[in-house]
Structure 1
């Protein structure tokens, strides 16, 4: 793992590139694989094309951008689920994450058993979990269901359990991807109240969300990723206002183009 260059930083991302291989003709049978061995063609889908930024200890930062821009990919690299093809990522401290609902949960095990499994992924020993499990269960409000298999849980119950585990890991860096859109309003308020408390304690928070309201509740800074590059980095409200204005303008332009193309097709058919 890379070490940060500046000890005041919790996260340092340096010229990160990430691409995925998209295969054009994927073989479905053994016979097809043998016939096409060495012939499978693929295209490189570039998601990130040289992203760099620093996040200081105790900062709460949002990653924003359109679907497919690379913000969730960036978060997954911060949590080490993915690795960059080029560039480096360095983090200073213990990392806890809520990236995908149910990630790290075994469907046939109980909520209680999954707390131990999920916490072990973050490098937490069983004795530490023993000391925190009552707090985890209490925050999740799943006392009546904690010994049921998690396959019987709703998406909201998954959120409660995942969030409760993540915030009780005494991490230095907390990574959250979009999932706060799930669950009832009362629990969401409870989550944001806890995030504000963690922020006040100096925990670094990196949040991916499409909700301006959610971002402004937690973050003072936003990084706008557009077409694999950092387009703007600064005050959260200012960045979000510009991002919203640009995306709305692009939407209008796209609708106008579609309308013109439709008129051309209709006119062409009439003339014919």
Structure 2
């Protein structure tokens, strides 16, 4: 079965504003978590001390005054060490959490690939999980039924689609998640490291799909620890460190600064 066509993507992208406004915009965004100062061996110990008023908390800044603009048709990379705030930023754009301070503006429908297997249930079959995950992404049942054959074929799971998800390998789950997220044409596609899972052939297939989205005007936010992938796929990038934006520039320039910082 053929891939959904570029005109389908263009139809979705055409709903975006045509006046140059960014598709994704973060305005002085801060995310602060309250975490216990001490570690507790069990939840029971934590609960007892909490009731007794003996738990002390401290603030952890996941993002600190972040401002970014991402425009239509960009493949925008996010780089940084573990804990830099990249995944938190993606969750804000995906509307699965809210900032402590600041504004997050997204002009269009978002399809997030935030984690391998996110939104899937291990006891359901692959087919049942397509309906479940599709519903979480905002697809109607009719839309999912129309795209089911494409999803199964793109994920290369025809022989396994009616088997329980718990029997799938990590690569199989990644392929299914990517196929569901990209079956319809979002204005914004969010990808968090999932392209590093699976064999080389499927990684190349996924990269080709992303290029198709980009050529049709969709906006893509990409997190990857592969600097080669960021340079190859992204037009611009931002480097995050301890929740702050250290640089925003052409992808190659940002990667160069980040690598120099990590390996002086």
- Three-state SS of the structure 2 residue aligned to 1:14 is strand
TM-score, normalised with respect to structure 2: 0.88
Alpha-carbon distance in structure 1 between the residues aligned to 2:244 and 2:76 = 17
Partner of 1:217: 232
Of 3, 17, 21, which residue of structure 1 is paired with 2:34? Answer: 21
The answer as to whether partners of 1:13 and 1:52 remain within 8 angstroms in 2 is yes
Alpha-carbon distance in structure 2 between the residues aligned to 1:67 and 1:32 = 29
- Three-state SS of the structure 2 residue aligned to 1:29 is helix
TM-score, normalised with respect to structure 1: 0.86
Greater Rg over alpha carbons, structure: 1
Map 1:1-272; keep pairs closer than 5 Å: 8-25=21-38, 26=40, 28-29=43-44, 33=48, 36-249=51-264
Cα deviation, residue 130, structure 1: 1.1
The answer as to whether partners of 2:49 and 2:55 remain within 8 angstroms in 1 is no
Change beyond 3 A, Cα 1:87–1:125:
same
Cα deviation, 1:81-115, whole Å, max 9, x if unaligned, reads: 22111111010111001101111001111111111
Unaligned runs of 5+ in 1: 250-272
Partner of 2:11: none
The answer as to whether partners of 1:18 and 1:48 remain within 8 angstroms in 2 is yes
- Three-state SS of the structure 2 residue aligned to 1:58 is coil
- Three-state SS of the structure 2 residue aligned to 1:89 is strand
Cα deviation, 1:221-255, whole Å, max 9, x if unaligned, reads: 01111221111101000110111011101xxxxxx
Unaligned runs of 5+ in 2: 1-16
The answer as to whether partners of 1:192 and 1:217 remain within 8 angstroms in 2 is no
Alpha-carbon distance in structure 1 between the residues aligned to 2:241 and 2:135 = 35
The answer as to whether partners of 2:237 and 2:254 remain within 8 angstroms in 1 is yes
Larger RCO: 1 or 2 (CA < 8 Å, sep 6+): 2
The answer as to whether partners of 1:7 and 1:92 remain within 8 angstroms in 2 is no
Cα deviation, 1:22-74, whole Å, max 9, x if unaligned, reads: 21344743796178532211111111110001111111100111111101110
Cα deviation, 1:152-180, whole Å, max 9, x if unaligned, reads: 10000011000000111211100000111
Alpha-carbon distance in structure 2 between the residues aligned to 1:140 and 1:205 = 20
Change beyond 3 A, Cα 1:246–1:167:
same
Cα deviation, residue 20, structure 1: 1.5
Alpha-carbon distance in structure 2 between the residues aligned to 1:44 and 1:35 = 17
